[in-house]
Structure 1
Amino acid sequence: MVIVIGGMIGLGKTTVAEMLSEKLGSQVFYESVDDNPILPLFYTASQEEIEAKRYPFLLQLYFLNSRFKTIKDALRHPNNIIDRSIYEDWYFAKRNRDLGRISDLEFQMYENLLNNMLEELGDLPKKAPDLMIYLKGSFETVLKRIQLRGRSYELDESLITYYKFLWESYDDWVMHHYSASKVVTIDMDQYDVRNEADRVQVLKLITDALHS
């Protein structure tokens, strides 16, 4: 069983992945964040620096490369959990294209590379995940959880507009663009996985879905 965890920044993907790992005895493949040299630059650069140094495009290539390696490794083994996957990577690239942070030509290059990578997955014994767990929530909940997480480069007030832009179309991506597996949606307005009782409830929702 290969499970991917998706959803907006701050809603608890890593915590849910670790909960599932402990329950199912699975390995977690984490999103490359803390060791990512471009991410802090992406969040803190001025608009002039972004345009000159193309940090959004470089960041997407960095994530695409790391997520391609992750999903290849995960699909070679029977039980794994992925903290955000290559499928979701496209959504971030597209939204940055929509903002003008990634040019149309850069996005075309990105999509061509992504499509080639996805074709390569067809040669693996297991070709796609079995389930995606989509964590959704109100924008107020997203902001609150980002603030509680406390990564300094994520807390600048100027980023609020960017976060809202990402948040606005997430449901549309899940409903109309993601097709690799079955999806289970969990409303994180109702659950805070820092609390033991909520962790139990979230795990029950997921395990019920796995057994259905």
Structure 2
Amino acid sequence: MPLPQFITVEGPIGIGKTSLARAINQRYGYHLLQEIVEENPFLGRFYDNIEEWSFQTEMFFLCNRFKQLTDISNLYLKQDQSVVSDYNIFKNTIFAQRTLHKTELDKYLKIYDILTSDMPQATLIIHLNASVETIMNRIAKRGRKIETNIDPTYIRDLRDDYEMFLERYRYLHPEVPILQLDGDELDFVARPEDLEYVFRMIEETMNKEQLEHA
């Protein structure tokens, strides 16, 4: 019997991760896991003053994602049910390395390593990327109040961080396919034909038997 699949969708803020994860959920019947964002009580203050509020923000995300993934593993993956998530927990290290001072980062990474040592690993990573202009336009379009003060430079740095991280990840985990999609060329929310293209790319990356094992 094929193993359950665990697809994670990743990329910078506002790129369309949740929209694509929901579409995969509806298409293939995978259980949908969505990250907790607006419930983070530190996030608004973080965007106003990254240096002061980064550690509290990142620790809140880490603890909540750890709890979510533990539940997903026990309730679905270990019961042979496939899952699609709008994040991969490795994103915690990307954000932390961008925002934390070295002493805080060292402590944070030790906690991260302990919490994630036995977490389920993705069987497919979908990486969404786009220009800073496209990302900022999509952030503005969704209209989250806590995101009104995001600096475009922060978004640019985050895009670069994702690219570098995934290059290393591909080298260290060659068994995990990474499907990269260009958000400047594709708008799978507004254009159904683009969404169908994305589904075809997913199906080419994973075989049909794996996808249908929900």
* TM range, smaller chain: 0.7 to 0.9
Could you tell me which residue of structure 2 aligns to residue 141 of structure 1? 134
Alignment of 1:1-212 (within 5 A): 1-45=5-49, 50-51=51-52, 55-76=53-74, 77=76, 78-96=81-99, 102-121=100-119, 127-156=120-149, 159-177=151-169, 179=172, 181-195=176-190, 196-211=192-207
Between the aligned partners of 1:131 and 1:194, the Cα distance in structure 2 is 21
Stretches (4+) displaced over 4 A: none
Shift of the alpha carbon at 1:168?
A: 2.3
* Offset, 1:70: 2.0
The structural deviation recorded for 1:120 is 3.2
Between the aligned partners of 2:21 and 2:31, the Cα distance in structure 1 is 9
Hey, what's the Cα distance between the residues in 1 that align with 2:106 and 2:28? 39
Alignment-mate amino acid for residue 57 of structure 2:
L
Letter in 1 for 2:36: S
Q: Which runs of 5+ in 1 are unaligned?
A: 97-101, 122-126
RMSD (CA atoms): 1.8
Give yes or no for contact 1:71–1:85 (8 Å, CA) kept in 2: no
Q: TM-score under structure 1 normalisation? A: 0.84
State how far apart, in whole Å, the 2-side matches of 1:198 and 1:120 are: 36
Could you list the per-position Cα deviations for residues 22-68 of structure 1 after superposition, in whole angstroms to 9, with x for gaps in the alignment? 111111111111222111121134x7xx53xxx10011101111111
The alpha-carbon deviation at position 73 of structure 1 amounts to 2.5
Question: Aligned-pair distance for 1:74?
Answer: 2.6
Output one character per residue of 1:77-126: Cα deviation in whole Å (capped at 9) or x when no partner.
23111111211111000011xxxxx22111011100111112233xxxxx
Structure 2 unaligned regions, length at least 5: 209-214
CA drift at 1:165: 1.8
Which structure would you say has the larger RCO, counting Cα contacts within 8 Å and 6 or more residues apart? 2
The normalised TM-score by structure 2 is 0.84
CA distance in 1, matches of 2:69, 2:137: 30
1:75 deviates by 2.9
- Matched letter for residue 161 of structure 1: T
CA distance in 1, matches of 2:94, 2:35: 15
1:133 and 1:183 in contact (8 A); partners too: yes
Would the alpha carbon gap of residues 8 and 41 (structure 1) be closer, same or farther in structure 2, given more than 3 Å must change? same
